[in-house]
Structure 1
Amino acid sequence: MPHRFNAAFTALLAAALFGATTPLAKAWLGSLSPFMLAGLFYLGSGCGLAIAIFVRWLKGRATGAAAQHGVFPLRVVPWLAGAIVTGGVAAPALLMLGLQTTPAAAGSLLLNLEGVFTALIAWIVFRENVDVQVFLGMTAIVTGGVLLAWQPGAAGAAGPMPGTLLLLGACACWAVDNNLTRKVSTHDAMLIACVKGLVAGSVNLALASSLGAHWPHATTVGLAMLTGFAGYGVSLVLFVVALRNLGTARTGAYFSVAPLFGVALSWLLWPEMPSLPFWCAAALMSVGVWLHIRERHEHTHTHAPLDHAHRHRHDAHHQHEHDFAWDGHEPHSHPHHHAPITHAHAHVPDIHHRHSH
């Protein structure tokens, strides 16, 4: 299915951008406080996306295209606020604190558990459907994460490293964030990521200042903000689009490959020979991701009437007329109505297939 392939590629690209920020954050933690670095990352994402939104608006005015990107309706504001608090404030702070005492490669791979926590919340709380193959894939990722986290401590006694517990907390916060973001994923992805970046960046920088952190050199600030724009800003925009087209659990599964990109980059920065548990964990997590990629879910289902707005093409689910002058350009965005329809095809829990089974 070309549509699903494109959605999977979007999620994987988001994962690659985000995964690369972990070893870079590890490299900067020696000179920047955790809250300062998290704040610069998010502020860079928010400022960069604000510029992109402004350029998009100027382009729309120049071409005479109607602006279809509006503000958020009041009903989704609580979901967005919850996503900002958990994923924009709590999670990055826990991540930066955890990376201070966790090896870069192990920290990158451990973040794979974000996808697991995301799926568990989606399945248990929001009742997203789960097949046996998807469940087995998540089981493999969980097993790999536990194997990776349970390592000998500095004194030789087996037990979880302190930084590991902080990274697990970051994964849990981002998992809540992902499920809350799903509630607003039909709206402008760029605006969602921009608001989150500006608010989270400001809060983290305020916390850093209150704890006595000093502003770094202008060059460091610029590089950190540029990294945040790509790894947190662009990555989040792509992630929201993937949520819209794949559902929460599947997007989380594809996003689980993010640590692999971080591991590859960390080896370039700090050459070392990983331990045997590390390789076993990597193998288990890779198998889990592979099981998700090859999943196929198909049955007869009925679409209830639905009204919403998002970027779309006139495919089988979007056969509607326009009440405005349309130049034939696709994809485009506007409020539209879905009439009831019953059919069968392979699908995932995207915004048009959130039905019960």
Structure 2
Amino acid sequence: MGRPPPPSEGERTGGAPVQIGALVPLSPPGWVEAGRHLLAGLELGVREVNAAGGITGRPLELVVRDTAADPRKAEAAVDELGRLGVAALVGEYHSVVARAAAAKADALGVPFLCSSAVLDALTDEPTEWVARLAPAQSHGWRIYADFLLGAGHSRIAVAAQSSVYWTSGIGILRDHLASRGGTLIELDMGALAPAAVCDELVDHRVTALLLLTGYPEPAVSIVRSVRGDRRLGEIMIGAPAGQPEFAEWKALLGDGSAAIPFLRYLPERFSPLGARVEAALRERLAEAPSFVAFEGYDAVAVLAEVLRSHGADRERIAGSWPRVSVEGTRGRIRFSRAPGVNVWQWAWAPVQVVDRDPAEPERFRVLGAG
């Protein structure tokens, strides 16, 4: 996809719009900052599609619904959008919410391109209706576990809350570490206050603590407690789910936001398309775009190509996933059946282990990749 002409120079769009429903967390307890970046990417993608003539002359239109990180709201939104006649669904950041949306989309026969949720078991059974851009959790978190081992951490604690997503992550980490001589110790944040975590870390003699908790709390309080405890000056804090990616993390923790490795899904360097989109997203957001914004843009690029090639019929859209070949901001996107994943999967988006530089917390350092 090259630079689209401005609207005045491109083909005029007219007629009834082709609608796609967008599922985005835009209010608490959803991760609002992630939702804002996701929506910025979706909206930029739609704007560029329409500037280039739309879908065979028809405008592409987003119909946005706020999921607020609530699976029931997501299910209701899928129901409503299905009745409104959207050609497909796109988006969602929170894995547990995306899982609920995917199940409902599968039941209703509405194509769903999940942009950002990583839970392996996005659906219980294989489905033709759902495809995903984000890498499966097992893929990214094994890369993260290898990074930990390579950095000399073999005795690792997780501060964890109860959720399908965190439980899945614990299982992935435990199995991968155990097969390589590592040990994982689980600290139940349903029973421990953030300050009590410090004593547990000392007692268990761990060298790394991973935050598998809600954001901003209790994650921020745990970081403050650990960083303020003189006994734990050498411990590494990590956040595989990506909490430090967003500017709010730095605003809340200041210098304490740095040196906390996390996963993000960006390439080592952008293609010309990626660089152009990065600049446009930066202008739109008035800050550096996160990987979530690129996921939103790429999702629209995929759906636009599918709609141009196969029309707005839902069955034809769902049947097109294995034939997709679209140049995205982070590489060429094709879908296949990945082992252990029941949806059509891009295998894989690029994966990086990154942290904020202690010398300059606004800057990110790439520590590993896979």
TM over 0.5, yes or no?
Answer: no
* TM-score with structure 1 setting the length: 0.25
Which structure has more RCO (C-alpha within 8 Å, separation ≥ 6)? 1
